[in-house]
């Protein structure tokens, strides 16, 4: 396998881990985020600083990066996720910009706007694949388990969910924390992949990109988020020569998907035997599979 | 003392421009209950129309300003018709509208990047920036006073429109409950168009003053994040709240720039947001959110 193909595969899996994080929050809990680049930045800066300045091994550094992102997510979620509505969307932009500004101005630790060069390139294909498989397994277990069902209940009808005894603000904060952990891990791996990080890489465009791939793939489908990431990453690679149109295409994709297929490519279906059976079946659905009415 | 008064005037002037933007954004939020992220795009459209009318046709500022306001208003209506109407008619999920508006914001920004180029443009010197002596207390720029006056005039006009006209009454009714207003015989489609026209018009006024204060470039629309933050501090959907929040924000920003460091001003803005959300979650003038089942 050539270096180029290997690089793209690694990038695909890193983006996939981040997309699963965003999908958990936006797709499964119904909270729109425009600031997830902040958690990516926390993850990659923590990893870079711990390995370079404190001589940590990369594995604990990446995991600590994820945990730090998780703690920040928890602290941010506490005041902003008690409310419904667009409060978190706006607060997330503000938070992401603040974190970027802190990184840019905290010269002594983060080397400011010049960035941190020379990070050990520990992110090889087997390591990324290992992380990806573990994180994906965790994500699928989570969404099919008790907590995942509570997330979906918060998304679909938070009033009904709270009447059933779910503490919906707590589940929203939990969803944000786990989501931040995923994105933080992706950030750590990303730092080890490109070996040079700079605050400007984690601006609002990055946040928007992360959310748009998930919307494109399907809100409420983990495999949809992965499919969306794969398509968008590969398309970006193919269309590198016309990169000035890239953001325009992202924007148009968002609008067109919302107008024509708001549930995204896969909707709420997961890729698997069930979807295959659904596509090939012609008779009316079995009684248990009918909608709520 | 002189510096202090000067910074207060600067802050009020900046805050009044934020208020023009935040009020339009809040007006749309109060009717459709979603954050219109494309609002920054309307501001940029207004700025570019003003720039090209001044430069290519050589008109005076009044004609160019009028063209910018009407043009931005129509673009706002067009945005609503193309991107939001199909979604709004099909579902009541405001998350879809939010994502579509994010997409429209990227589309508008990148159309200007491709068509007009990403470089910074200065408006011709149509708005005087000569220093004015204020009763011997402080010296300030005529521009700051003008933008304050313009904001007062336009916000006053909006207030008259909302309280003294039939459509104003309809808008206030729709802010209370859009569906019931429709049942009472209000033409909802036209009402939403009017709201978007007003929002685009106010954004264009802000856009012209911002492109004189800073310069004109496609990403100028990002500054609306500050106006969004101001609207959240004042309480989402409340117009007086948006004005008060904007003035607080403008003052905080200018006083930080004047007495601490101008790098910290954005951090102060976002800390204000977080503090408001912790202390008074629904903002200063926000409606207490209680949902009916």
Q: How far apart are CA B199 and CA B37, in angstroms?
A: 12
Q: Which residue of B has its CA nearest to A251?
A: B103
The pLDDT, as a whole number, for residue A37 is: 92
Q: Report whether B175 contacts B152 (CB < 8 A).
A: no
Residue B181 counted as domain residue? yes
Q: Which residue of A has its CA nearest to B292?
A: A159
Q: Which of A79, A89, A254 comes nearest B278 by C-beta?
A: A79
Class of domain A3-286: mainly alpha
Percent of chain B with pLDDT over 90: 33
Q: How many angstroms separate the first and last alpha carbons of chain B?
A: 55
The pLDDT, as a whole number, for residue B47 is: 92
Q: What is the mean pLDDT of residues B202-226?
A: 87
Inter-chain residue contact B110 with A83, CB threshold 8 Å: no
Q: What is the mean pLDDT of residues B281-293?
A: 64
Query: In whole numbers, what is the pLDDT of chain B averaged over residues?
Result: 86
Q: Report whether B245 contacts B238 (CB < 8 A).
A: no
The pLDDT, as a whole number, for residue A189 is: 92
For an interface test with A, the pick among B22, B102, B116, B226 (most A C-beta atoms closer than 10 Å) comes out as B102
B125: helix, strand or coil = coil
Q: Given CB atoms, is B268 within the 8 Å cutoff of chain A? A: no
Q: Which two tokens stand for residue B152?
A: 């007062």
Q: How far apart are CA A201 and CA A198, in angstroms?
A: 6
Inter-chain residue contact B35 with A248, CB threshold 8 Å: no
CA A36-B278-B101 angle, to 5 degrees, is 40
B 148-177 residues inside an 8 A Cβ radius of A: none
Chain A residues inside the 8 Å CB shell of B102:
34, 208, 211-212, 254
H/E stretch holding B133 reads strand B131-134
Q: Which two tokens stand for residue B183?
A: 């049942």
How many contacts, defined by CB atoms under 8 Å, are there between A and B?
Answer: 131
How many helices (DSSP H) and strands (DSSP E) are in chain A? 13, 0
Q: How far apart are CA B235 and CA B26, in angstroms?
A: 9
Residue B288 counted as domain residue? no
Q: How far apart are CA A175 and CA A169, in angstroms?
A: 10
Residue B97 counted as domain residue? yes
Q: Which two tokens stand for residue A140?
A: 């699928």
Residue B287 counted as domain residue? no
The pLDDT, as a whole number, for residue B178 is: 87
Q: At what angle do helices B265-279 and B224-234 cross, to 10 degrees?
A: 30
Q: Report whether A62 contacts A47 (CB < 8 A).
A: yes
Inter-chain residue contact B34 with A86, CB threshold 8 Å: yes
- Phi first, then psi: give them for residue A98, nearest 5 degrees: -60, -45
Nearest to B220 by CA among B36, B23, B38, B44: B44
- Residue entry with tokens 């069930």: A274
For an interface test with A, the pick among B30, B95, B111 (most A C-beta atoms closer than 10 Å) comes out as B95
Residue B292 counted as domain residue? no
| Residue range A38-78, pLDDT digits in tens | 999 999 999 999 998 888 888 899 999 999 999 999 988 88
Q: Which residue of B has its CA nearest to A161?
A: B293
Q: What is the mean pLDDT of residues B13-20?
A: 91
Q: What is the mean pLDDT of residues B181-186?
A: 88
Q: Respond yes or no on whether ipTM tops 0.85.
A: no
| Residue range A83-142, pLDDT digits in tens | 766 778 888 888 888 888 888 888 888 888 888 888 888 888 888 999 999 999 999 899
The pLDDT, as a whole number, for residue B136 is: 67
Inter-chain residue contact A211 with B102, CB threshold 8 Å: yes
B41, pLDDT greater than 80: yes
Question: What's the burial of B70, exposed, middle or buried (CB within 10 Å: 0-12/13-18/19+)?
Answer: middle
Q: Which of A32, A94, A251 comes nearest B103 by C-beta?
A: A251
| Residue range A178-229, pLDDT digits in tens | 999 999 999 999 998 988 898 888 888 888 888 888 888 888 888 888 988 8
C-alpha distance from A183 to closest chain B C-alpha (Å): 20
The pLDDT, as a whole number, for residue A288 is: 46
pTM above 0.90, yes or no: no
Range of the structural domain that residue B25 is part of: 2-279
Q: Write b or e for each residue in B48-64: b if 16 or more Cβ atoms lie within 10 A of its Cβ, otherwise e.
A: bbbbbbbeeeebebeeb
B 11-70 residues inside an 8 A Cβ radius of A: 29, 33-35, 37
Lowest model confidence (mean pLDDT) among A271-280, B20-29, B172-181? A271-280
The pLDDT, as a whole number, for residue A85 is: 64
B290, pLDDT greater than 70: no
Give the number of C-alpha atoms closer than 13 A to the C-alpha of residue A178, restricted to the C-beta side: 21
| Residue range B44-57, pLDDT digits in tens | 999 999 999 888 88
The pLDDT, as a whole number, for residue B124 is: 77
Nearest to B188 by CA among B100, B84, B72, B103: B84
A3, pLDDT greater than 80: yes
Q: How many domains does chain B have?
A: 1
Residue B293 counted as domain residue? no
Q: Write b or e for each residue in A84-115: b if 16 or more Cβ atoms lie within 10 A of its Cβ, otherwise e.
A: bbbbbbbbbbbbbbbbbbebbeeeeebbeeeb
| Residue range B94-149, pLDDT digits in tens | 778 888 898 899 899 989 988 888 788 887 777 777 777 767 667 778 888 888 89
Residue B286 counted as domain residue? no
The pLDDT, as a whole number, for residue B220 is: 86
The pLDDT, as a whole number, for residue B289 is: 53
Q: Report whether B18 contacts B234 (CB < 8 A).
A: no
The pLDDT, as a whole number, for residue A289 is: 44
Residue B141 counted as domain residue? yes
């Amino acid at each position: 396998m050539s270096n180029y193909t290997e690089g793209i595969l690694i990038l695909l899996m890193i983006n996939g881990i981040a997309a699963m994080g965003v999908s958990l929050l936006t797709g499964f809990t119904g909270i729109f985020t425009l600031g997830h680049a902040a958690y990516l930045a926390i993850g990659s800066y923590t990893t870079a600083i711990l390995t370079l300045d404190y001589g940590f091994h990369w594995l604990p550094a990446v995991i600590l990066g994820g945990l730090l992102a998780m703690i920040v997510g928890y602290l941010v979620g506490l005041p902003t996720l008690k409310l419904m509505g667009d409060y978190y969307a706006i607060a997330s932009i503000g938070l992401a910009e603040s974190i970027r500004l802190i990184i840019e101005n905290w010269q002594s630790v983060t080397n400011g706007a010049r960035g941190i060069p020379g990070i050990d390139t520990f992110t090889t294909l087997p390591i990324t694949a290992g992380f990806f498989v573990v994180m994906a397994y965790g994500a699928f277990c989570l969404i099919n388990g008790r907590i995942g069902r509570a997330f979906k209940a918060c998304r679909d009808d938070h009033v009904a969910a709270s009447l059933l005894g779910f503490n919906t603000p707590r589940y929203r904060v939990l969803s944000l924390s786990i989501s931040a952990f995923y994105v933080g891990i992706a950030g750590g791996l990303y730092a080890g992949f490109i070996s040079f990080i700079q605050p400007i890489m984690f601006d609002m465009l990055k946040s928007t990109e992360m959310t748009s791939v998930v919307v494109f793939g399907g809100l409420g489908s983990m495999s949809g988020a992965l499919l969306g990431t794969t398509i968008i990453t590969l398309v970006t690679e193919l269309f590198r020569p016309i990169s000035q149109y890239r953001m325009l295409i992202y924007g148009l994709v968002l609008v067109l998907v919302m107008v024509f297929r708001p549930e995204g490519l896969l909707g709420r279906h997961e890729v698997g035997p069930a979807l295959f059976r659904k596509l090939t079946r012609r008779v009316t659905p079995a009684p248990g599979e009918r909608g709520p009415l | 003392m002189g510096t202090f008064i000067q910074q207060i005037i600067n802050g009020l002037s900046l805050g009044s421009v934020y208020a023009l933007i935040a009020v339009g954004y809040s007006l749309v939020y109060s009717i459709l209950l979603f954050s219109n992220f494309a609002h920054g795009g309307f501001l940029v459209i207004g700025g570019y129309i003003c720039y090209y009318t001044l430069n290519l046709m050589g008109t005076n500022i009044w004609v160019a300003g009028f063209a910018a306001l009407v043009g931005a208003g129509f673009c706002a209506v067009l945005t609503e018709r193309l991107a939001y109407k199909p979604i709004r008619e099909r579902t009541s999920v405001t998350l879809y509208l939010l994502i579509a508006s994010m997409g429209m914001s990227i589309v508008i920004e990148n159309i200007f990047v491709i068509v007009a180029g990403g470089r910074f443009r200065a408006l011709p010197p149509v708005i005087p920036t000569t220093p004015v002596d204020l009763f011997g207390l402080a010296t300030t720029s005529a521009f700051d006073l003008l933008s304050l006056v313009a904001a007062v005039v336009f916000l006053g006009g909006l207030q008259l429109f909302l309280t003294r006209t039939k459509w104003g009454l309809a808008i206030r009714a729709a802010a209370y409950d859009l569906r019931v207003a429709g049942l009472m015989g209000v033409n909802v489609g036209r009402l939403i168009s009017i709201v978007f026209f007003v929002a685009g018009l106010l954004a264009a006024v802000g856009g012209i003053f911002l492109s004189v204060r800073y310069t004109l470039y496609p990403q100028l629309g990002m500054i609306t994040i500050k106006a969004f933050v101001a609207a959240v501090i004042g309480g989402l959907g409340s117009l007086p709240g948006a004005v008060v929040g904007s003035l607080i924000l403008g003052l905080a920003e200018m006083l930080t720039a004047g007495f601490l460091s101008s790098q910290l001003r954005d951090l102060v803005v976002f800390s204000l947001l977080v503090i408001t959300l912790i202390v008074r979650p629904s903002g200063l003038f926000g409606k207490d959110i209680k949902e009916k089942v």
